[in-house]
Amino acid sequence: MTVDFTGQLAVEGVSKWFRTSRATVHALDDVTLTVQPGEFLCLVGPSGCGKSTLLDIIAGLAVPDSGKVSADGQPVEGPGRHRLVMFQESALFPWLDVFGNVMFGLKREQSLTAEQKRQVAEQHLELVGLTKFKKAYTHELSGGMKQRVALARSLAPDPRVLLMDEPFAALDALTRERLYGDLQEIWRTKRKTIVLVTHNVREAVCLADRVILMSPHPGRIREEFRVDLPRPRDINSTMLAEMAQEITAALKTHDPELGRE
């Protein structure tokens, strides 16, 4: 496996407002952030801190009102195949079977032959352990399996950056723990840059090299924590719990509403 060190992201002075007829919400205020190639970064914060908006802007699905985003030195002007997104709902296509879903993003790869595309899709199904469910329809899968398929679908076109918007939030705890293990393993072998949005501090500590803490009204970056715990990490380990506690405490000092609880 060749490890190419691309997948660098730079967010500079990004601000974003949402205007509706009733109110104007200041979603992001002067956010600056750099993500190194191959880094696993988690954006953490309470609802309304703009973390999902920031992810959308990095993905090119939303446009900032000021500031700029670049990926590998190129300005981000729209969605691109090097930065694929995985959402909280798996959003699998029900008219395709599991294999068809994983093939979706590969279909337009002109550099690969039909046979190579099939191989790549097979490899990614194997990576998420769903080879046996290749021909299954999406409604036949459990929530965890759906997210695995969504992960395979996002990874198959070999993006440089994987953007994940609360991908585990809708899953039960046991499934989630298994997926933490799988994702760490995949990240170790594939060395993608990953930006993951979550409101679960433990999840962030379990996965990230660096945890960025955000606070709402307006959405700002408050603090960042480097996580140097050895990998693979177990979500139930005490070291991890201590670090999570420290970050949760910081979270509360930045958000007066949480602090009162």
Partner 1 sequence: MKRALVVIAFFAGLVLLWKIATMVMGWSPLLLPPPEAVGRYIWEALLDGTLISASIVTVKRLLIGYFIGVVIGMGLGLMVSTSDLFESTVGALALGLQTLPSVCWVPLALLWFGQTEGAMLFVVIMGTVGSVIIATSNGTRSIPPIYARVARTMGSEGFDKWTRVILPAALPFLVTGMKQGWAFAWRSLMAAEVYVTILTGFGLGHLLEYGRELSAMDQVIGVMIVIVVIGLVTDKGLFAPLERFMHRRWGTGAAVS
Interaction site with partner 1 (CB under 8 A): 59-61, 79-81, 83-85, 87, 89, 91, 93-97, 104-105, 107-108, 137-140, 157
Please state the closest distance from residue 95 (CB atom) to partner 1, in A: 4
Choice between 61 and 240, CB closer to partner 1: 61
Cis amide bond preceding 256, omega within 30 = no
Q: What are phi and psi of 14, to 5 degrees?
A: -85, 130
* Interatomic CA distance for residues 219 and 54, integer angstroms: 9
Choice between 118 and 210, CB closer to partner 1: 118
Q: Is 131 exposed, middle or buried (0-12, 13-18, 19+ CB in 10 A)?
A: middle
Choice between 85 and 243, CB closer to partner 1: 85
Please state the closest distance from residue 247 (CB atom) to partner 1, in A: 29
From residue 110, alpha-carbon distances to 49, 107, 117, 161, 254 in Å are 39, 8, 10, 20, 48
Choice between 150 and 207, CB closer to partner 1: 150
Choice between 59 and 227, CB closer to partner 1: 59
Please state the closest distance from residue 155 (CB atom) to partner 1, in A: 12
Please state the closest distance from residue 116 (CB atom) to partner 1, in A: 18
Please state the closest distance from residue 166 (CB atom) to partner 1, in A: 13
* Interatomic CA distance for residues 129 and 180, integer angstroms: 14
Strands 161-165 and 193-198: parallel
